[in-house]
């Protein structure tokens, strides 16, 4: 029997909807997002279960697995539905989240998706529909609002909801405030309004920022959320890292602003206590060294430039540091030492250019870009995929970021677009592996169906040979005759009803003897015969009466058994009829298997095409990266050579000056 | 000194964990959208590729679902299908460690929980622990849970349930529920009404 499908089902009752939703939740909490999404889809298809809560959950899962456009569509539909639910005052008692809150979440997530897709105008419209905002969502709203209206000032359409108002919240400083202020400060700096940027950056630098409270929905829609994986201590650690990073970034921006204003001393003192293990150490170190040089802290700047050169040999700042260092050596030490320093720089750039060309050559000749110097764990991720998964789970969603051992590729991967393209390759490989698994599974189902069909055909043939009508008629006759015997026995209670063949023969002989005796009656003395006959008849009747109950019971039992046989024969006949019809079901299954096979084939082709396109794009972007890097290096090389020429010129001038100073003496000698 | 070089470097060297979760990423996204406006080809190609990837993912998900339903229709038709689920309500007095299922005294399934799976149950998830086929008629399900009580002592809970399989799917939920009055957990059985 086929299960009901969408077409012939009614909406699942609330309790069932809740259970089906919780089935999907189990997969989500165990980190199997693909399976959770699959479950939500199954709930809808099998049981017509699609509450607002499920839809929002589905949209969140779609975001998690990278289906942003689909999530946008789901959220749009949900937002419309929730607006209707609010107007009609519909309360989904099965959900802990009210229609009002669900609508708010849907609008916020929709706006976020629209911003991510670059559709800021629509995001503005979406955000303008929010009129009331509650505490757990205020941070998200403020950030989205700023991003949607950037670089203009955002329009606040929403007011704080009294329902969720928390007096203490206004005193707290959350990360979201820090990010909003950072963005504002950046804008001020870009516009040259340094006086406006400074107080903001100083405040960010000196404030202890708190992580905002997060609901289940916040975590669901954040594909990078590690809430489910990490322990509390690691979460706290992440918050500390964020706190430090926000403060450091503000400090760095302040220093950068001072440099732009040519206030090198201020920049120098700003970065004097900058932490060494910050993600911004490289930039901070460079600005610090540069400022030190500008304010004539030469010993310090010399050391710092050397450190930068050694610690960041492939970074643009490291390359610049080399030139600045050489320049300082020329100024502070001697021309010869300066010359050596410039020569070192020249050697460095030439070496880098050669390495860059080698990298490019090797990269160009690599067919599968993921095999180009991958990190060991990445290699395992992409190569040792299971040939077929035991269940049809979806292992093609990964949060593992692609990384490589190649320093040049590492540098190229700082570009988000290129990183995303590599990630696409990883995902496409996982999809291919998954599709191969599906293909094998489909083939297995096909084989199972073939076996099933063969078995049914055999049963069908065997059943066809059996003449059910004759069997049933025969059994019915038998049943009738026994039923008659039993009825007769029960009404007459005569033992001879159940007489055996031998007993019947005896009864016949007795009857015949009686007739014979009556025919000779009067001619002979028959009294003795009659007495003997009566004795025999009496014994026989006694025997029959004695066995009557047992034989009656046996007949009744036989009747029951025949009845059972008759029922089985009829059931068999009916099953046979169903079997005839089930061939239609098998053909339906066969068709579905064929469709799946075609679908899998088509997707494998699509994946291969997309992989090729992505690889070409990566090659193009890497070529561009290499060209840019070469330009930078050649520019540095050229500068170093110009500077060397200048140093040589200075050395020549110096030599001439010496020569001139020595010349009169020489002349005097010659005269003497 | 070239300011542009290090200022752009500052923007790109944002801590990854920070980048992934904060608005600066979104801001850079918006900025990158603006900068992409000057490079229509790159933006277009990028958009097309990501849309194509999304389409493929969507199709694969659909294929997955169809295949799953197909498999269930073929291997576990409603007339014989029996499914058993496990759920935990609160889980303060009993931390589930494993479950063993018997149907008509035959072992049919066993499951050993990881910390994450246990937490998933305690957060409200329902786990399908068994899916199988049974003939029409009366059957007996026995479930034996092992775990730890509130004080960390190893403990067991067992339950037996008689049920009748007819032409419809039978879904049985084993609910491990905390009992506030006795400070212990009980296993309750609920047959889902479809």
> Which range has the worst mean pLDDT, A32-36, A566-570, B17-21?
B17-21
Assess whether pLDDT exceeds 50 at residue A663: yes
Rounded Cα distance between B68 and A471, Å, is: 43
B23: its two tokens? 């608005």
Q: Mind spelling out the 3-state secondary structure of A351-380? A: HHHHHHHHHHHHHHCCCCHHHCCECHHHHH
Q: Determine the pLDDT at residue B176.
A: 93
Q: Determine the pLDDT at residue A4.
A: 36
**For B19, nearest residue in chain A (alpha carbons):** A242
Interchain CB distance below 8 Å, A175 and B167: no
Assess whether pLDDT exceeds 60 at residue B22: no
Interchain CB distance below 8 Å, B13 and A442: no
Residue B137 DSSP SS3: strand
With residue A71 as reference, give the H or E element that holds it. Answer: helix A68-87
Q: Determine the pLDDT at residue A234.
A: 55
Helical spans, DSSP H, in A384-415 = 407-412
Q: Which residues of A touch B39 (CB under 8 A)?
A: none
Q: Determine the pLDDT at residue A385.
A: 38
Contact between residue A44 and residue A9 where contact means Cβ atoms under 8 Å apart: no
Which residue's structure tokens are 């009803």?
A: A497
Check if B73 contacts A (Cβ < 8 Å). Answer: yes
- Per-residue CA distances from B90 to A339, B118, B123, B154, B156 (Å): 75, 11, 8, 18, 17
Over residues B142-148, the mean pLDDT reads 95
Q: How far apart are the first and last CA of chain A?
A: 128
- In DSSP notation, B112-130 reads E--HHHHHHHHTT--EEEE
Residue B13 confidence class, pLDDT cut points 50, 70, 90: very low
Rounded Cα distance between A221 and A56, Å, is: 10
Check if B75 contacts A (Cβ < 8 Å). Answer: yes
Assess whether pLDDT exceeds 60 at residue B17: no
Instruction: Say which of B30, B74, B126 has its CB closest to residue A449.
Output: B74
Interchain CB distance below 8 Å, A179 and B22: yes
Q: Which residues of A touch B71 (CB under 8 A)?
A: 392, 441, 445
Q: Determine the pLDDT at residue A471.
A: 85
Scored b (16 or more CB within 10 A) or e, A438-457 reads bbebbeebbeebeeebeeee
Rounded Cα distance between A4 and A11, Å, is: 12
Residue B142 confidence class, pLDDT cut points 50, 70, 90: very high
Q: Determine the pLDDT at residue A348.
A: 93
pLDDT tens, residue by residue, A411-441: 999 888 898 899 889 889 999 999 999 999 9
Interchain CB distance below 8 Å, B18 and A245: yes
Picking from A459, A669, A503, A476, the residue whose alpha carbon sits closest to that of residue A559 is A476
Interchain CB distance below 8 Å, B65 and A431: no
Helical spans, DSSP H, in B100-177 = 115-122
> Which range has the worst mean pLDDT, A300-304, A498-502, B92-96?
A498-502
- Per-residue CA distances from A604 to A15, A597, A615, B184 (Å): 40, 11, 16, 53
Rounded Cα distance between A554 and A185, Å, is: 103
Scored b (16 or more CB within 10 A) or e, A319-330 reads bbbbbbbbbbbb
> Which range has the worst mean pLDDT, A576-580, B79-83, B136-140?
A576-580
Contact between residue A255 and residue A271 where contact means Cβ atoms under 8 Å apart: yes
Determine the distance from the C-alpha atom of residue A42 to the mean position of all C-alpha atoms in its chain, rounded to a whole number. Answer: 16
Q: Which residues of A touch B67 (CB under 8 A)?
A: 392, 438, 441-442, 445, 596
**For A453, nearest residue in chain B (alpha carbons):** B74
> Which range has the worst mean pLDDT, A75-79, A635-639, B80-84, B164-168?
A75-79
Residue A522 confidence class, pLDDT cut points 50, 70, 90: low
Instruction: Name the E strands within A102-225.
Output: 132-133, 159-160
Q: Determine the pLDDT at residue A73.
A: 84
Assess whether pLDDT exceeds 80 at residue A508: yes
Q: Determine the pLDDT at residue A495.
A: 72
Over residues A91-115, the mean pLDDT reads 71
Assess whether pLDDT exceeds 50 at residue A384: no
Q: Which of residues 30-59 of B touch A (CB under 8 A)?
A: 30, 32-33, 36, 42, 45-46, 49-59
Q: Determine the pLDDT at residue A47.
A: 85
pLDDT tens, residue by residue, A142-185: 888 888 888 888 887 777 665 544 555 555 677 777 888 888 88
Contact between residue A536 and residue A431 where contact means Cβ atoms under 8 Å apart: no
> Which range has the worst mean pLDDT, A74-88, A119-133, A522-536, A547-561?
A74-88
Assess whether pLDDT exceeds 90 at residue A381: no
Count of Cβ atoms closer than 10 Å to residue A484 Cβ: 10
Instruction: Say which of A179, A414, A603 has its CB closest to residue B23.
Output: A179
Interchain CB distance below 8 Å, A241 and B73: no
Interchain CB distance below 8 Å, B57 and A222: no
pTM: 0.73
Interchain CB distance below 8 Å, A3 and B169: yes
Residue B189 confidence class, pLDDT cut points 50, 70, 90: very high
Burial of A656 from C-beta contacts in 10 A (0-12 / 13-18 / 19+): exposed
Interchain CB distance below 8 Å, B64 and A38: yes
Picking from A619, A612, A614, the residue whose alpha carbon sits closest to that of residue A362 is A619
């Amino acid at each position: 029997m086929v299960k009901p499908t969408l077409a012939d089902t009614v909406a699942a009752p609330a309790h069932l909807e809740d259970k089906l939703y919780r089935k999907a939740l189990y997969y989500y909490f165990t980190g199997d997002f693909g399976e959770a999404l699959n479950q939500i889809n199954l709930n809808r298809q099998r049981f017509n279960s699609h509450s607002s809560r499920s839809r929002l959950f589905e949209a969140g899962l779609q975001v998690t697995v990278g289906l942003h456009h689909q999530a946008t569509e789901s959220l749009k539909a949900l937002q419309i539905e929730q607006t209707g639910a609010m107007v009609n005052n519909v309360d989904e008692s099965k959900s802990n989240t009210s229609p009002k809150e669900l609508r708010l979440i849907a609008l916020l997530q929709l706006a976020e998706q629209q911003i991510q897709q670059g559709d800021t105008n629509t995001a503005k419209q979406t955000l303008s529909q929010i009129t009331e905002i509650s505490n757990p969502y205020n941070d998200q709203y403020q950030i989205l609002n700023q991003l949607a209206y950037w670089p203009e000032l955002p329009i606040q359409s929403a007011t704080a909801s009294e329902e969720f108002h928390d007096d203490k919240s206004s005193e707290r400083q959350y990360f979201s405030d820090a990010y909003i202020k950072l963005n504002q400060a950046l804008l001020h700096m870009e516009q040259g309004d340094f006086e406006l940027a400074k107080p903001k950056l100083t405040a960010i630098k000196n404030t202890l920022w708190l992580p905002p409270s997060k609901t289940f929905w916040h975590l669901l829609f954040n594909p990078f959320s590690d809430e489910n994986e990490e322990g509390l201590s690691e979460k706290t650690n992440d918050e500390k890292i964020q706190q430090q990073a926000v403060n450091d970034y503000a400090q760095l921006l302040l220093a950068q602003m001072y440099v732009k204003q040519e206030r090198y001393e201020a920049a120098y003192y700003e970065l004097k206590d900058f932490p060494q293990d910050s993600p911004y150490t490289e930039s901070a170190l460079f600005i610090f060294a540069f400022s030190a040089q500008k304010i004539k802290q030469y010993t310090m700047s010399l050391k710092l430039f050397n450190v930068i050169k050694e610690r960041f040999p492939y970074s643009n700042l490291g390359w610049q540091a080399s030139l600045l260092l050489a320049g300082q050596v020329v100024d502070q030490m001697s021309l010869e030492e300066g010359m050596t320093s410039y020569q070192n720089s020249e050697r460095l750039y030439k070496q880098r250019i050669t390495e860059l060309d080698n990298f490019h050559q090797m990269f160009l000749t690599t067919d599968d870009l993921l095999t180009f110097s991958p990190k060991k764990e990445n290699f395992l991720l992409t190569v040792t995929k299971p040939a077929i998964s035991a269940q049809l789970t979806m292992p093609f969603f990964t949060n593992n970021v692609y990384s490589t051992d190649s320093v040049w590729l590492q540098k190229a991967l700082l570009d988000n677009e290129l990183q995303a393209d590599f990630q696409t390759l990883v995902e496409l490989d996982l999809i291919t592996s998954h599709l191969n698994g599906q293909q094998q599974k489909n083939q297995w189902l096909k084989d199972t169906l073939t076996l099933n069909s063969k078995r049914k055909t055999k049963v069908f043939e065997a059943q066809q040979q059996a003449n059910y009508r004759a069997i049933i008629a025969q059994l019915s006759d038998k049943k009738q005759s026994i039923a008659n015997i039993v009825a007769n026995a029960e009404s007459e209670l005569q033992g001879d009803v159940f007489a055996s063949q031998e007993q019947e023969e005896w009864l016949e002989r007795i009857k015949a003897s009686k007739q014979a005796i009556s025919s000779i009656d009067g001619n002979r003395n028959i009294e003795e015969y009659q007495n003997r006959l009566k004795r025999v008849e009496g014994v026989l009747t006694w025997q029959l009466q004695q066995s009557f109950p047992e034989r009656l019971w046996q007949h009744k039992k036989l009747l029951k058994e025949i009845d059972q046989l008759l029922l089985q024969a009829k059931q068999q006949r009916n099953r046979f009829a169903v079997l005839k019809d089930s061939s239609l079901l098998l053909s339906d299954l066969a068709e579905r298997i064929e469709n799946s096979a075609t679908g899998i084939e088509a997707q494998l082709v699509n994946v291969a095409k997309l992989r090729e396109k992505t690889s070409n794009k990566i090659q193009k972007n890497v070529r561009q990266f290499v060209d840019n890097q070469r330009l930078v290096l050649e520019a540095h090389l050229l500068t170093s050579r110009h500077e060397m020429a200048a140093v040589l010129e200075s050395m020549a001038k110096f030599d001439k000056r010496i020569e001139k100073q020595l010349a009169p003496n020489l002349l005097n000698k010659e005269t003497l | 000194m070239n300011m542009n070089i290090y200022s752009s470097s500052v923007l790109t060297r944002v801590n990854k964990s920070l980048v992934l979760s904060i608005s600066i990423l979104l801001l850079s996204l918006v900025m990158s959208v603006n900068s992409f406006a000057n490079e229509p080809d790159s933006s277009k190609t990028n958009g097309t590729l990501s849309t194509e990837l999304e389409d493929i993912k969507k199709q694969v998900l659909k294929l997955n679902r169809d295949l799953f339903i197909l498999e269930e229709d073929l291997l576990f038709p409603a007339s014989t299908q029996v499914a058993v689920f496990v759920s935990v309500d609160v889980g303060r007095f009993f931390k589930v460690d494993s479950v063993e299922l018997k149907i008509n005294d035959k072992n049919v399934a066993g499951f050993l929980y990881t910390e994450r799976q246990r937490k998933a149950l305690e957060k409200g998830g329902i786990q399908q622990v068994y899916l199988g086929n049974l003939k029409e008629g009366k059957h007996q399900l026995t479930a034996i849970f092992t775990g730890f009580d509130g004080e960390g002592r190893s403990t067991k809970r067992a339950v037996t349930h008689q049920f009748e399989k007819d032409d419809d799917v039978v879904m049985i939920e084993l609910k491990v529920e905390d009992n506030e009055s006795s400070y212990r957990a009980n296993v309750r059985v609920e047959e889902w009404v479809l």
